[in-house]
Chains A and B, each alone.
Chain A
Amino acid sequence: MLVIASLLAGLVFGLGLIVSGMANPAKVLGFLNLAGPWDPSLALVMVGAIAVGLVAFHVARKRTTSLLGAAMELPISRQIDRRLVLGSVLFGVGWGIVGFCPGPAIVALGMGQAKAVVFVVAMLFGMGIFELFERRKQAVLMRA
């Protein structure tokens, strides 16, 4: 049941990205291009998503189990640290270069776009590099 819910959530998320135009990197770059002819669409996508999200998370935060009986795994960290900021800077630069963030890149991959394949493979490689560093750090900590 959880797997089906997950599949549906991914599907609706992807449909939202296509309907909103955000699967198209050119449209995202139109929003990030503040100094040029600016396309505010992405801001309205956020408004629509957050309007629904505010209600949903207000309800979710009070629950100890999900409607399907799964444990609630919402984040608890409140730490604003170097990792958060540095990681977000790297992500923002990559986002600004091409106009892809992870969700739209996966949807574009589903459209069979060859360039999306290149981007997603590099992104997975980047995530793999992160995992290797984390594992090495863990190993050093264990030895200490």
Chain B
Amino acid sequence: MSVDWNAFTSWSALVGGVLIGIAAAMFALLNGRIAGISGVIGGLLKPAPGDVAWRAAFVVGLLSAPLVYSLFAVLPELHIAAPSGTLVLAGLLVGIGTRYGSGCTSGHGVCGLSRLSPRSLVATATFMGAGFVTVYVIRHLLGI
């Protein structure tokens, strides 16, 4: 392993991480809920009375973050290398997997680890491990 020091953005990573932590803290202390994005979105697909507005509001907040950011600074460019077919395959896997495994990087990774949940530790280790292996296979074995 070699660290790519040019790509390593330590301060912005730490500051952004703290912001994510503050968002999770707000949601836990004000709303009494876990800021798990897959769970918040997934719940919109089986709408229950009184359960829709706060979920939709959270998603609107996420969606409007780029607009608010752009009022203060220039938005960073995104690089999405994958072609459409690959995006569809990955999207399906992420959709099914996060719901079947009850969480994603936010719910298990950020909130679960903050709660010292053994369940979330297993989930996070599993999806990170699967992510490492997948990138290894694609980039180093298949050479794509």
A contact residues vs B (CB 8 Å cutoff): 2-27, 29-30, 32-42, 44-57, 59-61, 63, 65-68, 70-75, 77-80, 83-103, 105-111, 113, 115-116, 118-131
Q: Which residues of A contact B89 (CB under 8 A)?
A: 94, 97, 122
> Are B126 and A12 within 8 A (Cβ)?
no
Q: Which residues of A contact B63 (CB under 8 A)?
A: 14, 106-107, 109-110
Shortest CB distance A22–B (Å) = 7
> Are B91 and A67 within 8 A (Cβ)?
no
> Are B111 and A53 within 8 A (Cβ)?
yes
A-B contact pairs, 20 of them (CB 8 A): A10-B57, A16-B16, A37-B4, A40-B8, A49-B24, A51-B17, A51-B21, A55-B25, A56-B29, A66-B30, A67-B29, A80-B122, A94-B94, A97-B138, A101-B104, A102-B104, A118-B84, A118-B87, A125-B92, A127-B98
> Are A9 and B113 within 8 A (Cβ)?
no
Roughly how many angstroms separate A12 CA and B27 CA in the complex, as a whole number? 10
The residues in B between 96 and 144 inclusive whose CB is less than 8 angstroms from any CB of A are: 96-102, 104-106, 108-119, 122-124, 126-136, 138-140
